[in-house]
Chains A and B, each alone.
Chain A
Amino acid sequence: MNRVRIAAIAVLATLALGALLAPVWARDSYQIQFREAPDAPPSWKFPLGTDALGRDRLTRLGYGARVSFLLAPAAALLTCLEAAVLGGLAGFAGRRVRSVVLFAADLFLTLPWLFLLIAVRACLPLNTSPEISVAITFLLLGALGWAAPARIICAAVGKLNRSDFILQARAAGCSPSRLLLRHLIPNVMPVLLAQFWIAVPVYILAEATLGMLGLGVSEPLPSLGSILRDLEGVDVIAQPWQLAPAIVLAVFAGAFQLVRPREDYSL
């Protein structure tokens, strides 16, 4: 493992720990308003200042990061499960099942991911409780992202299905369930893992985009997207501390990109 990956893992671990322990280090709840100090600049009491409603920005950033960092991997896990089931089915079952699954995957891939996400999210209830809006946002991310990983899994399973060791296992009388559990799933796991690592930063960025368009997690619960929405109409040059959530988001997504295994393109 090279030094860059180790550094990226360290950064990820620090950020994740900071976000997960937000209830421990934050002095107040994310929704407490300090009405005497709305839009306050950074100070000892409020290191990142307060928002227009007088809420501590640092506390909200901690809780918001917690929501995004916990639920994006959960959504990625859901995507991987869907991709494993559908892609595995398409690769393992007959031609008809494969055609149906691949047509459905093509249908999802026909529409750009963001277009699909925005259209579907806008058609779901928007005036819900914060908890339900969180669940809807991340379930949607997990549910709609299956198509590309499923195609990859389908190709991987199809390739494995034609390999010599599977042929030998079949010839030796291996049952389909044993074939699946002992031979196919363990061999597809690295592909699935790679899809998981790819999906997590994509989902964090997608949630941020949805939040900035007002289609993400609803107030008062913070998420990185809803916090970034506060940037609207803000002069970031005069108030650079307002960019802190954007920096946290970029560092987290960037660290994830560095952590995932890379293809060596040099010959």
Chain B
Amino acid sequence: MHLLGKYGARVVALVLVAGLASAALARLAPGAAADERELDPRLSAETVAAMRANEEASHNLGRFLLHYARGLAHFQLGFSQSQNAPVRELIAERGVTTIRELGIALAAALAIGAAFAIPAARFRAARVYDASCAILAGVFLSVPAALLAYVCLVLGGSATLVLALVLTPRVFLFSRNLLAQAYGATHVQMAMARGVDEFRILLFYVLAPAAGAMLAMAAATATIGVGASIPIEAICDTAGLGRLAWQAAMARDLPLLVNLTMIVALATTLAMALAEFFAPREAIA
């Protein structure tokens, strides 16, 4: 219980510091207090001066954080100037898209990656199959997610497909190594020698002991997916959190950037905590 409390406090501290750091970064960015509306020639000098004063006030880091903390107590996350909408609404609206996209892509990556990994791990003598799969995975790993998104966009693919293509090779390589180790274990060799059914060996002798590590890998892969969703959604023009994060960073939208940083930090920390929880004890040691 004490350990859980300590871990929880560390997570909260990490999320808060990440949010604070992103706020400081956006505030200190050159031109952060500038507003492109100031370039409108129809506005008078007084209006521009008033806008500038307003902008300066909203970009005061201390004041922003105080206001943000006060709003957070009432479940208010602030207002995005660049999107002209409340941050809470934006996140709720876009979050659904990204979670759905990530969920489908992760499930597809796990299914396809494991389906290719099982024969490669079981039949170690089938070097051509193993090498072909490894080369294919290597090719996808050697291409940036943004480029895959471009190509898929041209071919009519969706952001979910690109995300699945980014995650599958990672899942394949990790599960192949993991399952090859499991198949090489003495008790599995013994079961094979005794003539135990292949499917039974796979299910109870290989997959069952590797389940913890596989779940840990799924959690770790999800965090990669969160990062990859930014360029993919930006290029595929999908209205998700990834594109919102990119727009917030480009527009230096302080409230949006801080909230997204904290959400991403929280999601990553929780995913990594899950990965640690599911990982075999000896691996952590």
B138 interface residue (CB < 8 Å to A): yes
Minimum C-beta distance from B283 to chain A (A): 13
Query: Which residues of chain B in 176-211 are interfacial with respect to chain A, using CB atoms and an 8 Å cutoff?
Result: 176-177, 180-181, 184-185
Query: Which residues of chain A in 218-254 are interfacial with respect to chain B, using CB atoms and an 8 Å cutoff?
Result: 228, 231-232, 234-237, 246, 249-254
B257 interface residue (CB < 8 Å to A): yes
B63 interface residue (CB < 8 Å to A): no
User: Quick one: CB contact mask for B137-175 with A, threshold 8 Å, 1 for yes?
Assistant: 011011111110011001100000000000000000000
B250 interface residue (CB < 8 Å to A): yes
Contact B124 A110 (CB under 8 A): no
- With beta carbons under 8 angstroms apart, the residue of B17, B25, B30, B180 that contacts A265 is B180
- A231–B29 Cα distance when bound, in Å, is 30
Q: Once A and B bind, how many residue pairs between them come within 8 Å at the CB atom?
A: 139
Query: Which A residues are in CB contact (< 8 Å) with B230?
Result: 112, 114-115, 118
Question: With A110-B265, A114-B228, A118-B230 in contact, do A212 and B143 touch (Cβ < 8 Å)?
Answer: no
B50 interface residue (CB < 8 Å to A): no
A120 interface residue (CB < 8 Å to B): yes
- Report, as a range, how many residues of chain B touch the other chain: 35 or more
Q: Which of A37-45, A171-179, A188-196, A201-209 interfaces with chain B?
A: A201-209
The tally of residues in A whose CB lies under 8 Å from a CB in B reads 45
Query: Which residues of chain B in 226-285 are interfacial with respect to chain A, using CB atoms and an 8 Å cutoff?
Result: 226-228, 230-231, 234-235, 245-246, 249-250, 252, 257, 261, 264-265, 268-269, 272
Minimum C-beta distance from A105 to chain B (A): 11
B22 interface residue (CB < 8 Å to A): yes
A131 interface residue (CB < 8 Å to B): no
Contact B146 A257 (CB under 8 A): no
B28 interface residue (CB < 8 Å to A): yes
A165 interface residue (CB < 8 Å to B): no
- A115–B232 Cα distance when bound, in Å, is 12
Question: With A208-B144, A212-B231 in contact, do A110 and B14 touch (Cβ < 8 Å)?
Answer: yes
B98 interface residue (CB < 8 Å to A): no
Question: With A110-B269, A123-B29, A123-B249 in contact, do A212 and B147 touch (Cβ < 8 Å)?
Answer: yes
- With beta carbons under 8 angstroms apart, the residue of A120, A213, A265, A267 that contacts B231 is A213
B91 interface residue (CB < 8 Å to A): no
Query: Which B residues are in CB contact (< 8 Å) with A163?
Result: none
B interface secondary structure, majority: helix
Contact A125 B228 (CB under 8 A): no
Q: Which residue of A lies closest to B21 (CB)?
A: A107
Contact A115 B184 (CB under 8 A): no
Query: Which A residues are in CB contact (< 8 Å) with B15?
Result: 110
A168 interface residue (CB < 8 Å to B): no
A113 interface residue (CB < 8 Å to B): yes
Question: With A115-B264, A249-B142 in contact, do A122 and B147 touch (Cβ < 8 Å)?
Answer: no
Minimum C-beta distance from A106 to chain B (A): 6
- With beta carbons under 8 angstroms apart, the residue of A121, A246, A266, A267 that contacts B147 is A246
Interface residues of A (CB under 8 A from B): 103, 106-107, 109-115, 118-125, 201, 205-206, 208-209, 212-213, 228, 231-232, 234-237, 246, 249-254, 257-258, 263, 265-267
| Given A107-B14, A107-B18, A208-B146, 16 additional A-B pairs, CB 8 A | A111-B261, A114-B227, A118-B231, A122-B29, A123-B26, A209-B146, A212-B235, A213-B146, A213-B234, A234-B154, A237-B154, A249-B147, A253-B143, A254-B138, A254-B141, A254-B142
Interface residues of B (CB under 8 A from A): 10, 13-15, 17-18, 21-22, 25-26, 28-32, 124, 138-139, 141-147, 150-151, 154-155, 176-177, 180-181, 184-185, 223-224, 226-228, 230-231, 234-235, 245-246, 249-250, 252, 257, 261, 264-265, 268-269, 272
